[in-house]
């Protein structure tokens, strides 16, 4: 049966989770239109991925 040899203090226990941080997403410029996008994603502005048209983007009609 697993039994701890000594008590783990609250500060020592909480230090384990202290370094789990959320990192900012790296953005790159779309080679087609220059819009900032996440790497390895289809551009929401022009619909291109890896130099090819991946998604047809519909233009918003103004009322």
Chain segment 7-24, per-residue pLDDT in tens: 989 998 888 887 788 888
What Rg do the C-alpha atoms of the chain give, in angstroms? 24
52 φ/ψ angles, rounded to the nearest 5 degrees: -125, 150
Structure-model confidence comparison of residues 32 and 19, the more confident one: 32
Could you tell me the CA-to-CA distances from 20 to 15, 24, 27, 38 in Å, in that order? 10, 13, 21, 22
Query: Sorting pLDDT into bands at 50, 70 and 90, what band is 57?
Result: confident
């Amino acid at each position: 049966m697993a039994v701890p040899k000594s008590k783990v203090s609250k500060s020592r226990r909480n230090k384990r989770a202290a370094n789990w941080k959320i990192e900012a997403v790296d953005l790159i410029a779309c080679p087609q239109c220059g819009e900032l996008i996440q790497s390895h994603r289809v551009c929401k502005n022009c619909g291109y991925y890896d130099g090819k048209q991946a998604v047809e983007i519909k233009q918003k009609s103004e009322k």
